Amino acid sequence: LQKLIYLLQATDDPLIQEQALITLSNSAAFSVNQDIIRNLDGLSVIGGMLSDCVPKVKEKALNALNNLSMNIKNQEKIQVYITQVCRNVESAPLDSDLQLAGLRLLTNMSVTSDYHQEMINSIPCFLHLLSEGTERTQIQVLKVLVNLSANPAMTRYLLRAQV
């Protein structure tokens, strides 16, 4: 895991980055690896890939963070990327794998109300995706919206959102 994280930092080759991110994502299926990746500062390295200009690299980084977000301590570190993830969802092509990867991460990050505030500005986008997206996108957006709606503090933002 340490070598994969180093490899992500050391290379600019998108194909190598994608493969390293896929391997880290698969490794994150095991809770012990989630802790190891966090302790090796892997979350910030993977999070840094969200600003990459290659959509497939961003998508793989989102998938890795999604798997890593199943851990509460990791969520505390991942929350700094929520605004950027929301921007990626908004700017990604409609119904793209990149958009869906971002929505899946936001679904996990919105299970508890701890990080709902960071998603408020994206509510109009979520509602737009609900009306314009394919069924896959709609289902993923609904998961985020259901999680947000479980928080009474979000009610006015959901009801006042301009679409």
pLDDT band for position 16 (cuts 50, 70, 90): very high
> Do 107 and 131 sit in the same domain of this protein?
yes
> Do 84 and 157 sit in the same domain of this protein?
yes
> Do 125 and 69 sit in the same domain of this protein?
no
> Do 90 and 158 sit in the same domain of this protein?
yes
**Last residue of one domain, picked from the residues 51, 78, 105:** 78
Q: In 3D, which of 77, 74, 67 has the Cα closest to residue 107? A: 67
Count how many domains the chain has: 2
> Do 72 and 95 sit in the same domain of this protein?
no
pLDDT band for position 163 (cuts 50, 70, 90): confident
> Do 50 and 27 sit in the same domain of this protein?
yes
> Do 1 and 66 sit in the same domain of this protein?
yes
Assign residue 60 the CATH number of its domain: 1.25.10.10
**Last residue of one domain, picked from the residues 36, 51, 78:** 78
The verdict on pTM exceeding 0.85 is yes
List phi, psi (to 5°) of 116: -65, -35
- Domain span including residue 8: 1-78
**Last residue of one domain, picked from the residues 13, 44, 78:** 78
pLDDT tens by residue, 85-132: 999 999 999 999 999 999 999 999 999 999 999 999 999 999 999 999
